[in-house]
């Protein structure tokens, strides 16, 4: 299927979309983005994604170029142009095109780009057997709470995981869990679920709020607090969440089994609750 994207309000085939080389997204990674899953034509948790998009823009001082209705309309128009059953929308706003200088340019128009792709849910084998991760030091900056397109730290971390034969990494700063390269990480100990606090060291995934709801529904106690590396390595279960991966069990860490080495009961409950939430 031809992929149609939207660049600064214009819908066009992806191959024809062009951004000037002086775009600050290209030069500095000076921009933010958002990724929203769409199931059966309906954006999942759209209000929360839109709120985070606006929070990211405000955090880096870019005026929101579109109103809520325009953002919503943009997403629906893109989705309607593709007939994949499940899709995900990628939206990006950069500070715009200007002579290269680090400080913000005056009177510049932000660049707005959006595209949709087919969303292929994680394969059954990953749900049945889990995935492997490796641990890494978190070497990123101190504003991981902003969904910035400056992702070099995340890119290098994911590449290190791939080179080690793993699907994702789990990162630690000062001996405490932060998150994955493109996911949040959850730790099960004695039937309770623990996640990193929502501070500047992690991106607050839209699945943070969702996990709270799913835990409530599934009768799992959830606590956000700093989690020691030792607690992660000795976890009964480890889980990963993201917009496109939903919730997945992590069954190997640094080549060793997590708990029994099989997806556990807390994963099973939360995965079932997640599927129900998608269908609701
Ligand atoms: N942390 C990072 C660094 C991410 O890139 C992502 C994926 N966007 C997440 C966490 C999970 O966020 P979400 O649940 O909104 O996809």
- In whole angstroms, what is the distance from residue 244 CA to residue 38 CA? 10
Whether residues 25 and 147 fall in one domain: no
What is the chain's mean pLDDT, rounded?
Answer: 98
Angstrom distance (rounded) from CA 272 to CA 32: 32
Question: How many folded domains does the chain comprise?
Answer: 2
Q: What percent of the chain has pLDDT over 90?
A: 99
Domain boundary at 90, 118, 146, which?
A: 118
51 contacts: CB under 8 Å, gap ≥ 6: none
CATH code of residue 30:
3.30.470.10
Same domain, 129 and 243: yes
Read off the pLDDT of each residue in 214-233 and give the average, rounded to a whole number: 98
Same domain, 244 and 171: yes
Q: What is the pLDDT of residue 205?
A: 98
Regarding whether 109 and 198 lie in a shared domain, the answer is no
Question: Is 80 exceeded by the pLDDT of residue 74?
Answer: yes
Looking at the fold, whether 74 and 212 belong to one and the same domain comes out as no
Pocket test for ligand 1, best of 184, 199, 206, 214 (most atoms within 8 A of CB): 184
185 with 256, same domain?
yes
The CATH number covering residue 146 comes to 3.20.10.10
Q: CA-to-CA distance for 167 and 121, rounded, in angstroms? A: 15
Q: What is the pLDDT of residues 119-169, one digit of tens each?
A: 999 999 999 999 999 999 999 999 999 999 999 999 999 999 999 999 999
Instruction: Note whether 19 and 86 are same-domain residues.
Output: yes
Distance CA 241, CA 193 (A): 13
**Spatial contact of 30 and 131, defined as CB atoms under 8 Å apart:** no
Do 137 and 265 sit in the same domain of this protein?
yes
Q: How confident is the model at residue 104 (pLDDT cuts 50, 70, 90)?
A: very high
Q: How many angstroms separate the alpha carbon of residue 99 from the centre of ligand 1?
A: 32
Cβ(196) – ligand 1 distance below 6 Å: no
pTM confidence score: 0.97
159-200: pLDDT as tens digits: 999 999 999 999 999 999 999 999 999 999 999 999 999 999
Domain match, 157 and 71 both: no
**For 40-56, what is the mean pLDDT?**
98
Domain span at 182: 124-279
Domain shared by 128 and 248, yes or no: yes
Q: Please give the number of the atom of ligand 1 that sits closest to the Cα of 184.
A: 10
Same domain assignment for residues 140 and 73: no
Percentage with pLDDT > 70 across the chain:
100
């Amino acid at each position: 299927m031809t992929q149609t994207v939207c660049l600064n309000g214009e819908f066009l085939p992806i191959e024809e979309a062009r951004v000037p080389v002086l775009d600050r997204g290209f030069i500095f990674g000076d921009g933010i983005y958002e990724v929203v899953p769409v199931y059966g034509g309906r954006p999942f948790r759209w209000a929360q994604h839109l709120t985070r998009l606006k929070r990211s823009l405000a955090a880096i001082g870019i005026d929101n170029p579109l109103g809520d209705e325009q953002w919503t309309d943009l997403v629906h128009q893109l989705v309607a142009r593709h007939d994949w059953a499940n899709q995900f929308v990628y939206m990006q706003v950069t500070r715009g095109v200007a002579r290269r200088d680090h400080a913000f340019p005056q009177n510049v128009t932000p660049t707005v780009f959006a595209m949709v792709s087919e969303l292929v849910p994680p394969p059954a084998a990953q749900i049945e057997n889990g995935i492997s991760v490796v641990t890494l030091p978190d070497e990123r900056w101190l504003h991981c709470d902003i969904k910035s397109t400056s992702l070099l730290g995340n890119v290098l971390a994911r590449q290190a995981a791939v080179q080690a034969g793993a699907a994702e990494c789990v990162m630690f700063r000062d001996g405490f869990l932060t998150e994955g390269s493109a996911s949040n990480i959850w730790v099960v100990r004695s039937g309770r679920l623990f996640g990193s606090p929502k501070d500047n060291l992690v991106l607050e995934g839209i699945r943070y709020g969702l996990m709270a709801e799913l835990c409530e529904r599934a009768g799992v106690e959830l606590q956000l607090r700093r989690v020691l590396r030792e607690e992660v390595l000795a976890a009964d279960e480890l889980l990963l969440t993201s917009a496109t991966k939903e919730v997945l069990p992590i069954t190997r860490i640094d080549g060793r089994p997590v708990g029994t080495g099989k997806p556990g009961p807390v994963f099973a409950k939360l995965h079932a609750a997640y599927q129900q939430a998608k269908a609701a």
